[in-house]
């Protein structure tokens, strides 16, 4: 069935917004047929909505397998106590984990999310992803805690996870490093050998001051953090540079790379990364998780100044109150009002689709695409996202 819908504004994202525009699409497949400007005489067959129509959201960073940890970890502890809590608390009965995964996959779909870049340390999410209407790019995460003598053991462990994922058609799978402070150079090499240059990778980046302290001078909280887990860190040699440089020295610049969190990333480091892998760098921000863990946000003006491609993610329910891209937008609208609606919507849609290699079908209203259609309601008169703003899925 072919449907025609209109709204106060339609945001194609790839082009300028259209006031009272008309969107024609196939209701069965969700494929966009055409997008027209406003007409003085609107056919009675056109359904009109009060609000703004936008493409489906992209959650560029999530840990769906940690959904059972909702409400288990206190806020505001800082990253190191948070990481310790995740490691020590994550083991639950498998049925509890499965039910939480399926419930949150459904919740993300209902919240308008079309695709997710999802971190996996286990295969707990594999069955759910194969059945889900959401498209997933699964990042199987490797780490060896900077212990060279354990690298081969951990490679075998996570390679088994990687090999046991069987993504559904159009989903993606790649091996990725966890973070600079948990991956040796040898493990980076192993990860690079698993992926092809066409694969997409991610890495947690500069989420805490302790990370750069470790690589600059060998100080900060990480040496004692690893010691508490029984890992010897005495042989670690600081590089004298911020952690992102260690990541770039060991990752493949031909891969599309998603740097995650970036709360401490400086302008010079943004530029260095953009030069290292031209047009293949995406900066994924998870505002609510940053506030949950360390009560800090990145300086987004630095990314705007360099025209860097920013995407939005939710992180996990161990570090967030919900898995909702609209709630991430609300947080940014509240605390960073210099970020306008157009910018935030592009971060939440097309940038994320490009980051996950899915912009051929998702992220914008263009003929032939199947991006999903969302209705935003209860905005301010000047199109500002408010606490009361809601999202509903039309397609």
On whether residue 83 sits in a domain, the answer given is: yes
Q: Which residue has the tokens 């995460």?
A: 141
Cβ distance 292 to 320 under 8 Å? yes
Pair of tokens at residue 26: 């196939």
> Taking the CA atoms of the chain, what radius of gyration do you get in angstroms?
21
Q: State whether 79 and 216 are in the same domain.
A: yes
Q: State whether 236 and 274 are in the same domain.
A: yes
Q: What is the DSSP string of 205-232?
A: E--SHHHHHHHHHS-SSHHHHHHHTT--
189 CB-near residues (< 8 Å, 6+ apart): 250
Residue 306's pLDDT is 97
Domains held by the chain: number = 2
On whether residue 372 sits in a domain, the answer given is: no
Beta bridge partners of 118: 62, 138
Q: State whether 382 and 326 are in the same domain.
A: no
Q: State whether 49 and 65 are in the same domain.
A: no
Q: State whether 277 and 265 are in the same domain.
A: yes
| Cα(263)–Cα(270) distance, integer angstroms | 12
Residue 325's pLDDT is 99
Query: What CATH number is attached to the domain comprising 226?
Result: 3.20.20.140
Residue 26's pLDDT is 97
On whether residue 48 sits in a domain, the answer given is: yes
CA 191 and chain centroid, separation: 20
Q: State whether 28 and 119 are in the same domain.
A: no
Residue 233's pLDDT is 87
Residue 105's pLDDT is 98
On whether residue 109 sits in a domain, the answer given is: yes
Q: State whether 389 and 281 are in the same domain.
A: no
On whether residue 292 sits in a domain, the answer given is: yes
Q: State whether 50 and 73 are in the same domain.
A: no
pTM over 0.95: yes
| pLDDT by residue, tens only, the chain of 395 residues | 999 999 999 999 999 999 999 999 999 999 999 999 876 555 678 999 999 999 999 999 999 999 999 999 999 999 999 999 999 999 999 999 999 999 999 999 999 999 999 999 999 999 999 999 999 999 999 999 999 999 999 999 999 999 999 999 999 999 999 999 999 999 999 999 999 999 999 999 999 999 999 999 999 999 999 999 999 988 899 999 999 999 999 999 999 999 999 999 999 999 999 999 999 999 999 999 999 999 999 999 999 999 999 999 999 999 999 999 999 999 999 999 999 999 999 999 999 999 999 999 999 999 999 999 999 999 998 888 999 999 999 99
Q: State whether 347 and 381 are in the same domain.
A: no
Q: Where are the beta strands (DSSP E) in the chain?
A: 2-10, 18-19, 22-26, 32-36, 46-55, 57-62, 113-120, 135-142, 172-177, 200-205, 256-261, 281-285, 310-312, 373-377, 390-393
Pair of tokens at residue 178: 């966890």
Cβ distance 231 to 146 under 8 Å? yes
Q: Which one, of 87, 181, 163, 182, lies nearest residue 123 by Cα?
A: 163
Q: Which residue has the tokens 């051929």?
A: 360
Pair of tokens at residue 326: 């609209």
Q: State whether 45 and 125 are in the same domain.
A: no
Q: Which residue has the tokens 């990145």?
A: 298
On whether residue 88 sits in a domain, the answer given is: yes
Distances (CA, A) of 384 to 13, 134, 178, 333, 388: 16, 28, 36, 8, 11
| Cα(368)–Cα(325) distance, integer angstroms | 24
Q: Which one, of 353, 369, 352, lies nearest residue 361 by Cα?
A: 369
On whether residue 369 sits in a domain, the answer given is: no
| Cα(115)–Cα(331) distance, integer angstroms | 21
209-230 exposure pattern, b = at least 16 Cβ within 10 A, e = fewer: bbbbbbbeebebbbbebbeeee
Helix, strand, or coil here: 318? Answer: coil
Q: Structural domain of residue 37, as residue ranges?
A: 2-54+377-393
Q: State whether 71 and 144 are in the same domain.
A: yes
Residue 235's pLDDT is 84
Phi, psi of 49 (to 5 degrees): -115, 145
Residue 39's pLDDT is 61
Q: State whether 32 and 62 are in the same domain.
A: no
Residue 234's pLDDT is 85
On whether residue 144 sits in a domain, the answer given is: yes
């Amino acid at each position: 069935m072919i449907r025609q819908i209109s709204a106060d504004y339609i945001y194609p994202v790839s082009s300028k917004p259209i006031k009272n525009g008309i969107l024609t699409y196939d209701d069965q497949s969700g494929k966009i047929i055409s997008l027209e400007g406003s007409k003085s005489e609107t056919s009675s067959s056109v359904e009109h909505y009060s609000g703004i129509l936008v493409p489906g959201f992209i959650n560029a960073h999530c840990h769906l397998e940690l959904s059972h940890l909702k409400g288990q970890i206190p806020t505001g502890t800082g990253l190191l106590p948070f990481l310790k809590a995740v490691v020590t608390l994550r083991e639950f009965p498998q049925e509890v984990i499965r039910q939480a995964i399926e419930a949150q996959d459904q919740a993300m779909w209902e919240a308008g999310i079309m695709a997710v870049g999802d971190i996996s340390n286990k295969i707990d999410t594999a069955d759910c992803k194969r059945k889900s209407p959401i498209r997933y790019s699964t990042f199987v995460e490797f780490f060896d805690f900077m212990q060279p003598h354990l690298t081969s053991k951990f490679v075998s462990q996570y390679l088994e996870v990687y090999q046991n994922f069987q993504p559904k058609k159009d989903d993606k799978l790649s091996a990725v490093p966890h973070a600079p402070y948990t991956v040796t150079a040898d493990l980076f090499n192993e990860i690079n050998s698993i992926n092809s240059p066409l694969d997409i990778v991610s890495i947690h980046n500069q989420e805490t001051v302790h990370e750069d302290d470790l690589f600059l001078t060998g100080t900060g909280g990480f040496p004692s953090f690893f010691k508490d887990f029984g890992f010897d860190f005495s042989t670690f040699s600081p590089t004298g540079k911020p952690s992102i440089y260690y990541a770039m020295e060991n990752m493949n610049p031909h891969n599309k790379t998603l740097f995650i969190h970036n709360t401490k990333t400086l302008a010079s480091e943004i530029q260095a990364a953009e030069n290292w892998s031209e047009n293949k760098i995406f900066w994924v921000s998870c505002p609510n998780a940053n506030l949950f863990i360390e009560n800090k946000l990145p300086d987004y003006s630095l990314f705007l100044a360099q025209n860097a491609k920013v995407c939005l993610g939710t992180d996990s329910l161990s570090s967030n109150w919900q898995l909702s891209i609209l709630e991430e937008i609300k947080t940014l609208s509240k605390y960073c009002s210099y970020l306008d609606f157009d910018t935030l919507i592009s971060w939440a849609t097309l940038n994320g689709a490009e980051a996950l290699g899915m912009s051929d079908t998702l992220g914008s209203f263009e003929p032939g695409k199947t991006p999903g259609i969302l209705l935003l309601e209860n905005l301010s008169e000047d199109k500002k996202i408010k606490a009361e703003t809601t999202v509903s899925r039309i397609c």
